[in-house]
Amino acid sequence: MRAENFPDFASALRDNCKLWIVLSADVASTGNALPESLRARIFYLGEFTQEHTRKILSNKLSADPLIDINLSVLRGLTNKKDSQ
């Protein structure tokens, strides 16, 4: 998608960064009830996403790791919902 339509590609990356900024801010708040270790891992993924996105836009890396992270989180959320 990068080569075919870079503006849309960059926009999708920006939207993904916004999502991870919101998630990171939420797990950093004192009122978040998730276990501390999970909060730390989510926060780390947010930091990784920001840094990796900068490298993607510099044409140094692939977006595949971000896709894998998002899909893994989505699968985890789906499995949690199904097991309740």
**1 inside domain:** no
Cα 67 from chain centroid (whole Å):
8
pLDDT value, residue 82: 54
pLDDT value, residue 81: 53
Q: What angle do CA 58, 54, 70 make, to 5 degrees?
A: 120
**11 inside domain:** yes
**Domain limits for position 33:** 6-82
The total domain count for the chain is 1
**64 inside domain:** yes
Q: Tell me the helix, strand and coil percentages in the chain, rounded to 5.
A: 75, 0, 25
pLDDT value, residue 59: 87
**73 inside domain:** yes
Q: What is the pLDDT along the chain (84 residues), one digit of tens a residue?
A: 577 888 999 999 999 999 999 999 999 999 999 999 999 999 999 999 999 999 999 988 999 999 999 999 999 888 765 554
pLDDT value, residue 72: 94
Q: What is the pTM of this model?
A: 0.84
